[in-house]
């Protein structure tokens, strides 16, 4: 399975989700490819936000990700492209080539009913906003991986 997370600048939410899903899939001994990108190229070539890295470290995770903008070929290279909010999703659907391989949806579609499906951008806010973002992303990623593993198991692909 190939999964791409997308947020605006690819320095806060999407690299956080990439690190979380990479950790989860490795604990389940899956061989998934996980990456992240931004709808904007304003931070291309930069490391994740220091608060993103700090929150990941609090959970024993890290990231060596270098930000990049989403590319048209991502739609044929990935199985899932998961957006953090409606603006990201609209952009992705607008640039997606017709007949793309990737299923494009909100990461928040894998939420529990009581949670908002939008992962709010913590940029410019304090560390607590990044912690809330991490908690939300962790739940969504856990639900995503559980659903996909169950489906793969039912289909005999596991």
Can 121 be counted among the known catalytic residues? yes
List 35, 74, 85, 121, catalytic entry: 121
List 7, 12, 133, 141, catalytic entry: 7
Tell me if 118 sits within 8 A of 86, measured CB to CB. yes
34 CB-near residues (< 8 Å, 6+ apart): 2, 3, 4, 5, 18, 21, 22, 25
The SS3 assignment for 37 reads: strand
Q: Where are the alpha helices (DSSP H) in the chain?
A: 13-27, 50-58, 74-77, 86-95, 127-154
Can 7 be counted among the known catalytic residues? yes
Can 116 be counted among the known catalytic residues? no
102 CB-near residues (< 8 Å, 6+ apart): 4, 74, 75, 76, 77, 78, 79, 80, 81, 96
- What distance in Å separates the CA atoms of residue 64 and residue 11, rounded to the nearest whole number? 11
List 12, 13, 35, 141, catalytic entry: 13
The catalytic site residues sit at 7, 13, 121
């Amino acid at each position: 399975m190939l999964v791409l997370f997308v947020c605006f600048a690819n320095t806060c939410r999407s690299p956080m989700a990439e690190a979380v899903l990479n950790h989860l899939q490795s604990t389940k001994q899956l061989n998934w490819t996980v990456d992240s990108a931004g709808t904007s190229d304003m931070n291309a070539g930069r490391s994740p936000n220091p608060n993103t890295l700090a929150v990941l470290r609090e959970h024993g995770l890290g990231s060596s990700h270098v930000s990049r903008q989403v590319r048209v070929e991502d739609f044929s290279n990935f199985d899932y492209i998961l957006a953090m909010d409606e603006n990201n999703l609209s952009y992705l659907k607008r640039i997606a080539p017709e007949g793309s391989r990737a299923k494009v949806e909100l990461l928040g579609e894998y939420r529990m009913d009581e949670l908002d499906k939008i992962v709010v951008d913590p940029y410019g806010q304090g560390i607590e906003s990044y912690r809330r973002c991490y908690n939300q992303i962790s739940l969504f990623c856990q639900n995503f991986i559980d659903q996909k593993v169950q489906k793969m198991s039912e289909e005999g692909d596991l």
